[in-house]
Chain A
């Protein structure tokens, strides 16, 4: 595959390291940095692959050759900037691929609302990892497919929970939820209607988004 032409807005740690990796892969890269001192530092290594300027300004993007960019990656420390850089890249310059960094995960909704996808939030990713390591209410998100409106969660059946000790066929799951696997004593199996759910089982459930609370109530005590 021929190399890509990638414009990276923001020469912070993320932008700089990304540029290094892409250049090593053989892609063509222009990094845009608006802080003069940071620009001079990065320029010592990246030389002509970094330009000084505010990437939210149209002329700066045009100087960097946005018309021929295959990919625009906005990774400044400012969510508004990242959002708008990607918005003009996509809608004004018809760049087919964009990637935005979202610094504050509370802004992820704004990126979605304005059609700026994918938006990557390191904070959000770490939060999810923490959730996986230290599950709250014994519930772990294994897979989220918001576009397809589908997710898979894993939970540990609580002592005295409504579902504990019941046949799978007697567990009254809400519509749009299905038990797909049970892990017991280190072994996983696909449950049948006559499988008894036991406290301590790890259960995988596929469900429509929004049903987590109902499922948690059924399988975990004290929620």
Chain B
């Protein structure tokens, strides 16, 4: 499988390294070169030596998306630290590049739910935290 991860903060970089370790082809797009170092440290070796790809660029730039290999991606993960960027870039991946599977991390529970109804696969960490806290505190 070819995974493209846009936004390699804590979440994106962990998913990217796990996927690489599991033997998938992984490309990461991030505007901050620091996130590349995070990947190196998490892997304990150079990201590229381990077979990973890394592109520095902004998610909404078509050139950057194409350079990072979006046209061949099987799975697209939008995990920047901004909901709005994730929502827009995920829709670009879906509609313009027709990536077979697109997943967006959305912190805002209401928009995560609404966009999921519109056919975008969303993961909402906030909703997960709410449910776990309710369970822990109220024993729901």
Contacts and interface: CB of A to CB of B under 8 A. Distances in A.
Nearest to A58: B110
A114 B91 contact: yes
Interface residues of A, number: 19
Interface stretch (A74-82, A130-138, A184-192): A74-82
Given A58-B114, A106-B61, A84 B95 contact: no
Nearest to B114: A92
B88 A84 contact: yes
Contacts, number: 41
A128 interface: no
A59 B110 contact: yes
A220 to B, nearest CB: 29
A35 B135 CA distance: 35
A113 B92 contact: yes
B111 interface: yes
B27 interface: no
A110 B60 CA distance: 9
Given A56-B84, A84-B88, A79 B95 contact: no
A183 B59 CA distance: 47
B94 to A, nearest CB: 10
B82 A80 contact: yes
A57 B87 CA distance: 13
Interface string B13-31: 0000000000000000000
Interface residues of B, number: 18
A80 B85 contact: yes
Given A80-B87, A81-B84, A58 B92 contact: no
A177 to B, nearest CB: 29
Contacts of A121: none
A114 B115 CA distance: 13
B118 A91 contact: yes
Given A57-B108, A113-B92, A107 B84 contact: no
B10 interface: no
A29 B85 CA distance: 28
Interface in B104-129: 108, 110-111, 114, 118
Contacts of A18: none
Interface of A: 56-59, 78-81, 83-84, 88, 91-92, 106-107, 109-110, 113-114
7 contacts: A56-B84, A57-B111, A80-B88, A81-B84, A88-B114, A91-B118, A113-B92
Ranked nearest first, the 3 interchain pairs of A and B with the lowest CB-CB distance are A80-B84, A80-B88, A58-B110
